[in-house]
Amino acid sequence: MDPWEGLRQEVVRLLDEGLSGLRWRVSRSLEETLEEPPDPRFGDIATTVGFELSKTLRENPQSIAKELVGKIKPRGLIERIEPVGGYVNFFVEFSKFGELTLEAIERFGERYGHLDIGNDQKVVIEHTSVNPTKPLHIGHGRNAIIGDTMARVFRALGYRVEVQNYIDDLGRQVAETLVAYDEVKEKPKGKFDHVLGIIYAQLHERLEEDLELEQKVRGVLASLERGEKAISEVARRLCERCVKANLLTTDRLGISYDLLVWESDVVRSGILGEVLDRLRATPYLVEGTGDKSGTLVLRFPDGIEDKVLIRSNGTAVYTARDIAYQVWKFGCTKAGLRFRFHSKRKDGVKTYTTSPKGKAMRRFGRADKVINVVGSEQKFPQRVVFASLKLMGLEQQFRNSYHLAYEHVRLPDQRFSGRKGTWMGFSVDDVLEETISRARAVMEERAGTTDERFKRRVAESVGVGALRFSLLSTSPEKEIVFKWEEALDFDRNSGPAIQYSYARACSILRKIGKYKSKRVPPTFRLPEEKSVLKLLAKYPGILRAVGEKLQPNILARYVAELALEFNKFYEAAPVIEAETPEIRVSRLRLVKCTRIVLKNSMRLLGIPVLERM
């Protein structure tokens, strides 16, 4: 199921055999000495073990490599072994390795690459979690797209996945928006989340000088935190409308949620109280002293700074609610939440929501593993949340809590700010619209179809693919400076480039029509063929790496490379007009398998799959 790993293991076996024949011992595992030569002409896999042995054996690496090669008889997936410098280079027998790889892909099809390392464990992934008072800007888009992609990958890795979107309806932003909504008489027209975002930014200018207004906001916030019925219901309705508008945006990007968790519901359900009681029962939640007198402070035994959890007015801080939520995700609370059906996503996923009037359901939460997709600026609070699990004796839950931290998206000269309204023009809706219309323009330039529906569908898919890829392909810990040229990039190394390679593969298969294929091992001689095949073989390992490192960019980079190599193959190796029937069948299988792996990858990245474009 993992052809590349199988190949590596075979190399290790051969090496092991050669080494024991010479009675040479290596201190670390042979697997770790393997690497890929910089040029396939040197070989497909190499070991640097000769350099290490030269120290203990007091001999130069060259002669060690030479002697070692003399002891190993190439067989199986390896056809040739050569010593070069201190390296031992292994050459793959592409007929056998090709058959093994292609056979695996043909057999598993859409499930090729799916490894059952999740063992049916449940992972809860929280992402998006935007204040329900504004539209998603491109930075929120990064969060949602990373989270959504991780959800897809974990499903492929054999986990049961539940995606949660945490709605903070008790924050200051909600209080401010509520006041603003009341103050601003002439409301702008448009999508509700945009409307709220605009009036919020408008109010903020006034808030800076208008003390009366500030008092009003504080009053509303206090009422919300106390859970006063009338105002809470107004707030909830406003937030509900905003969330609904936000979901229209994420729907377009193909993002799904299983559950919306409302902060107010977590607080009201008694979960917060229960978790705080549990902390009080430990020696770690202590009364604050000095300037913190009157508060309750979480004091960690192991180096993390003190953190106030209960303010002197008796209310809980944000982090306290986060702790409660985290404990609930693992199913470690007696108190529970109530749920009802919320809405259906484009892909058919049913989204539920917590709701005071809903009913208890056992299917939510109860995670074995929790991944929070939250900005890197929250590393400290996330650490506090996780560490407090340990203080409560939830050692295992502590170990299974992960913070997928990502850096922000910003403009060349400023950050996005809801208060200043700098997101305007850079909301996911705005960017998507621009990207799609640009894709449309490219289609118009290319001669071809006049089918209006086809054009619209392709432009939408290309736009979504371009945006998702551009936000996924950079590693999460790197800040992204948003530039239109990059979001609108449809050339190589972009979402559309991958879609294009896929469409070309489809085109070959369409045109070749029916063919009869005898089951003979494939023939691959061209470097372009070999390099595509090797990439196909590496796919399962890529998925594993994404899951282990929580880095979806690894998959994005991989599939872009596959598309690129496939294009080179496309130019160099005619399929339909291949030199011999054997080569034709070999290439055809390679195309079919490339198509499968491209499709599987695109599905996981949420890049729409197009048969033609």
Partner RNA sequence: GGGCCCGUGGCCAAGCCAGGAUAAGGCGGCAGCCUCCUAAGCUGCAAAUCGCGGGUUCGAAUCCCGCCGGGCCCGCCA
Counting contacts by CB under 7 A, is residue 311 touching RNA? yes
- Residue 307 engages RNA in binding (rule: CB under 7 A): yes
The contact mask relative to RNA for 83-122 (x = CB under 7 A, - = no) is -xxxx-x---------------------------------
> How many angstroms separate the CA atoms of 65 and 354, rounded?
64
Please say which residue, 256 or 372, places its beta carbon nearer to RNA.
Answer: 372
User: CA angle at residue 163 from 157 to 165, to 5 degrees?
Assistant: 155
- Phi/psi for 32 (5° steps) reads -70, -20
- Provide the token pair at 328: 């609930």
Pair 26, 53: CB distance under 8 Å: yes
Write down the least CB distance from residue 361 to RNA, Å. 28
Residue 319 binds to RNA (criterion: CB under 7 A): yes
52 binds RNA (CB under 7 A): yes
CB of 464 to RNA, least distance (A): 12
Residue list 279-298, contact with RNA (CB under 7 A)? 288, 291-295
Phi-psi region of 456 (alpha: psi -120 to 50; beta: other; left: phi over 0): alpha
- Shortest gap between Cβ of 540 and RNA (angstroms)? 15
Q: Which is nearer to RNA, 148 or 529 (CB)?
A: 529
Contact of 124 with 151, CB cutoff 8 Å: no
Check residue 612 for interaction with RNA (CB under 7 A): yes
Of 161 and 573, CB closest to RNA: 573
Dihedral of the alpha carbons of 505, 508, 513, 518, in degrees to the nearest 10: -80
Q: Least distance to RNA from the beta carbon of 259, Å?
A: 21
Q: Which of residues 194-253 bind RNA (CB under 7 A)?
A: 221
Residues 6+ apart with CB under 8 A from 30: 12, 15, 16, 19, 47, 49
Size of site (CB under 7 A) for RNA = 102
Secondary structure of 441-478 as H, E, C letters: HHHHHCCCCCCHHHHHHHHHHHHHHHHHHHHHCCCCCC
Binding track over 326-345 against RNA, x by CB under 7 A: --------------------
Bridge-partner residues for 83, per DSSP? 88
Work out which of 172, 299, 345, 592 binds RNA, going by CB under 7 A. Answer: 172
Identify which of residues 43 and 162 has a Cβ nearer to RNA in the complex.
Answer: 43
**C-beta separation of 381 from 373 below 8 A:** no
Closest CB 323 distance from RNA, rounded Å: 11
Shortest spacing between CB 500 and RNA, in angstroms: 3
Q: Residue 254: which of 124, 163, 169 has the closest Cα?
A: 163
Among residues 434 and 561, whose Cβ is nearest to RNA? 561
By CB under 7 A, the residues from 121 to 150 that bind RNA are: 131
Q: Does 377 bind RNA (CB under 7 A)?
A: yes
Is the sign of the CA dihedral 96, 98, 101, 102 positive or negative? negative
CB of 533 to RNA, least distance (A): 16
413 binds RNA (CB under 7 A): no
Stretch touching RNA by CB under 7 A, among 146-154, 311-319, 337-345, 391-399:
311-319
Shortest Å, Cβ 328 to RNA: 18
Q: How many whole angstroms separate alpha carbon 343 and alpha carbon 496?
A: 30
Is residue 381 within the footprint of RNA (CB under 7 A)?
Answer: yes
For CA atoms 115, 116, 120, 122, give the dihedral sign: negative
Site mask for RNA (CB under 7 A), range 477-516, x = bound: xxxxx---xx--xxxxxx-xx--x--xx-xxx--xx----
Nearer to RNA, 268 or 307 (CB): 307
Query: Which residues within the stretch 543-602 sit at the binding site for RNA (CB under 7 A)?
Result: 549, 553-554, 557, 560-561, 564, 567-568, 570-571, 573-577
- Listed ranges 100-108, 170-178, 229-237, 421-429: which one lies at the site for RNA (CB under 7 A): 170-178
**How far is it, in rounded angstroms, from Cα 424 to Cα 414?**
13
Q: Where are the beta strands (DSSP E) in 376-466?
A: 401-406, 409-410
| CA dist., res. 240 & res. 56, Å (int) | 69
- Tell me: does residue 317 bind RNA (CB under 7 A): yes
With binding defined as CB under 7 A, does residue 41 bind RNA?
Answer: yes
Asked if 265 and 356 touch (Cβ cutoff 8 Å), the reply is yes
- Range list of β-strands (E), 456-558: 480-481
Of 39, 186, 212, 413, which one interacts with RNA (CB under 7 A)? 39
Q: Is 554 left (phi over 0), alpha (psi -120 to 50) or beta?
A: alpha
The nearest distance, CB 499 to RNA, in angstroms, is 8
**What one-character-per-residue DSSP string does 113-169 give?**
T--TTSTT-EEEEE-----TTS--BHHHHHHHHHHHHHHHHHHHTT-EEEEEEEE-T
CB of 219 to RNA, least distance (A): 12
Among 206, 237, 340, 379, binds RNA (CB under 7 A): 379
48 scored as a contact of RNA (CB under 7 A): yes
Phi then psi for residue 27, to 5 deg, are: -75, -40
> CA-to-CA distance for 299 and 392, rounded, in angstroms?
12
